[in-house]
Amino acid sequence: MPRISTLNPQLVTELTAILDPKRVLTEREHLLTYGFDGTAALQGEVGVVVFPQTTEEVAKIVRYAAQEKIPIVSRGSGTGLSGGSIPQPNAIVLCLVKMDRILELDEKNLTILAEAGAITQKITEKADTVGLLYPPDPGSMKISTIGGNVAENSGGLRGLKYGITRDYVMGMEVVLASGEVVWLGNKCVKDVAGYSMKDVFIGSEGTLGIITKVLLKLVPRPAAKKTMLAMYATMDAAADTVSAIIAAKIIPCTLEFLDRITIKCVEDFAKIGLPLDAEAILFMETDGHPAVIEEQGKQMEEIARRCGATAVQIAANADEANKLATARRSAFSALARVSPTTILEDATVPRSELTKMIRFIQGVATRHNLRIGTFGHMGDGNLHPTFLTDERNHEEMERVEVAMKEIFDYAIELGGTITGEHGVGLAKKKFLPDAIGNASLTLLRQLKRTLDPDGILNPGKIFD
């Protein structure tokens, strides 16, 4: 249960002078939910939550906070999975969900402009109305905000073919730690006038500035999609399939896998007829021109069978595709219901090292007597080892900690990273030095000090 901070009355007076008092929360029952985000076993202490409606209001709050050296934790819908929006005691929690307008859809330039609090799904839907696609599709997109996606540089299921959030950010409005408002980027496909500051703020997890507007790139919506599910008796056969597809010069939009534990949990949960003796299931989608996906679909099926798939199901229509997608989409929910605490990790390795990593995770689970279901993005090496545990069991949590460190160490050894799409936040900051090395860490710290010299923006995150 998050604690409630004792408030400085002067702070509330100042904030209600900037904002309509209805948008300044100080009542205990209103505050509690802002002490959490989507990360298991982490909570913070909340004193006040503000809901600005304009960039100018954000800037005024930041200027006041800068002057008084009060920490600010910005957040959207709070779906983060690394504790990036868990508040520090006495911080102002600045929630951007009331800045949720889509401001412009520019079909000629293939761009969309939105306020940071706009829900990602709404952006996708808006683009879709004119036959365009906003490709990043993080699992949380139905409720997460686009500002949160940009601040975390969110991934999703389509990373292999379409890339990640960073690849679609053409511009942004940011409120700096001083309260100054700056616009970075534009609608030009090419622009090399000076260092790319927008890339500094993308993925900065609220620690360098507060993103208030984003200008995103759109692409034509693919005309068709082919969806299939392949079952395997061994993880190696599934991994061979992925390698053989890439070697055939096919880049599917989705290449997802579930391991045995995840398959069992999904089947228990969704009853869709998954084979409980399968060691791995691949969920594969290719999108594009109908002729191409027809051809690629056939090739992918052949490859899957050649590599030892025990069965391949191909969706004949959108309904069937949706049914197959259920297997992958319900993976996290299915795992989450079997234990009180579900810790969703995202260790990531180069695609070529995936089988080694999965096998290592299974070994870790056995060695430490833990339940770890693994699923994730096989096409881009982004794994989600998911710990099914109970945070009240301190002894087990200690084993989880040890196991996690072993997994991250091995991911790094394989040329990978401690986080593919969830961010560092609070949850992984102790692993960051080993992941990127001291020289890189020094660069990060220098950048933080430069852009936020008093350390008021989301302090205590990313770095220890």
Residues 116-145 that bind a copy of itself (CB under 8 A): 131-132
The C-alpha atoms of residue 283 and residue 385 are separated, in whole angstroms, by: 17
CB of 239 to a copy of itself, least distance (A): 11
Structure tokens given for 48: 């006040």
Among 72, 343, 424, 456, binds a copy of itself (CB under 8 A): 424
The C-alpha atoms of residue 59 and residue 63 are separated, in whole angstroms, by: 6
Residue type, position 189, single letter: V
Binding part of the chain for a copy of itself, among 21-29, 43-51, 112-120, 186-194 by CB under 8 A, reads 186-194
Contact call for residue 358 and a copy of itself (CB under 8 A): no
CB of 227 to a copy of itself, least distance (A): 19
CB closer to a copy of itself out of 72 and 349:
349
CB closer to a copy of itself out of 48 and 239:
239
Site for a copy of itself in 145-184 (CB under 8 A): 152-153, 155, 159-160, 163-164, 166-167, 176, 180-184
Residue 395's Cβ-count burial label (10 Å; 0-12, 13-18, 19+) is exposed
Among 308, 447, 455, 459, binds a copy of itself (CB under 8 A): 447
The C-alpha atoms of residue 427 and residue 84 are separated, in whole angstroms, by: 8
CB closer to a copy of itself out of 67 and 446:
446
CB of 187 to a copy of itself, least distance (A): 4
Site for a copy of itself in 76-105 (CB under 8 A): none
CB closer to a copy of itself out of 35 and 171:
171
Among 3, 126, 187, 323, binds a copy of itself (CB under 8 A): 187
Sequence-distant contacts of 136-142: CB under 8 A, at least 24 apart = 136/162, 136/163, 136/164, 136/165, 136/167, 136/168, 138/165, 138/421, 139/332, 140/38, 140/77, 140/79
Yes or no: say if 207 and 457 are a contact pair by the CB < 8 Å rule: yes
Yes or no: say if 218 and 111 are a contact pair by the CB < 8 Å rule: yes
Residues in contact with 241: Cβ distance below 8 Å, sequence separation at least 6, in sequence order:
230, 232, 282, 303, 304, 307, 309
The C-alpha atoms of residue 333 and residue 313 are separated, in whole angstroms, by: 23
Site for a copy of itself in 286-305 (CB under 8 A): 288-289, 291-292, 295
Among 98, 441, 455, 459, binds a copy of itself (CB under 8 A): 441
Contact call for residue 195 and a copy of itself (CB under 8 A): yes
CB of 287 to a copy of itself, least distance (A): 13
